[in-house]
Amino acid sequence: MAVRDILVTGAAGFIGSHFVRTLVGGGYPGLAGARVTVLDKLTYAGNRDNLRPVEDAPSFRFVHGDIADAALVDELVGSHDAIVHFAAESHVDRSILGATDFVMTNVVGTQALLDAALRHELGTFVQVSTDEVYGSIPEGSWPETDPLRPNSPYAASKASSDLIALAYHRTHGLDVRVTRCSNNYGPYQFPEKVIPLFVTNLLDGGTVPLYGDGMNRRDWLHVDDHCRAIDLVLEGGRPGEVYNIGGGTELTNKRLTELLLEACGADWSSVRYVTDRKGHDRRYSVDWTKIADELGYAPVHDFADGLAETVEWYREHRDWWEPLKRRGLVAS
134 Cβ contact list (under 8 Å, min separation 6): 142, 146, 148, 149, 150, 180, 284, 286
What is the C-alpha to C-alpha distance for residues 125 and 148, in angstroms, rounded to an integer? 21
Query: Does 131 qualify as catalytic in the annotation?
Result: yes
Query: Does 132 qualify as catalytic in the annotation?
Result: yes
Strand partners, 85: 9, 127
Which H or E element spans position 305? helix 303-316
The answer to whether the beta carbons of residues 177 and 239 sit under 8 Å apart is: yes
> Is residue 294 classed exposed, middle or buried when 0-12, 13-18 and 19+ CB atoms within 10 A define those classes?
middle
Phi, psi of 96 (to 5 degrees): -70, -35
What is the C-alpha to C-alpha distance for residues 117 and 221, in angstroms, rounded to an integer? 30
The answer to whether the beta carbons of residues 146 and 134 sit under 8 Å apart is: yes
322 Cβ contact list (under 8 Å, min separation 6): none
Three-state secondary-structure class, residue 319: helix
The string of DSSP codes covering 257-288 is HHHHHHHTT--GGGEEEEPPPTT---B--B--
Query: Does 154 qualify as catalytic in the annotation?
Result: yes
> Which residue out of 132, 144, 175, 225 is catalytically annotated?
132
Question: Which letter does DSSP use for residue 176 in this model?
Answer: E
Q: Specify the pairing of strand 217-222 against strand 183-185.
A: parallel
> Which residue out of 154, 185, 284, 297 is catalytically annotated?
154
> Which residue out of 131, 144, 219, 231 is catalytically annotated?
131
The answer to whether the beta carbons of residues 112 and 83 sit under 8 Å apart is: no
Which residues have a catalytic role annotated?
Answer: 131-132, 154
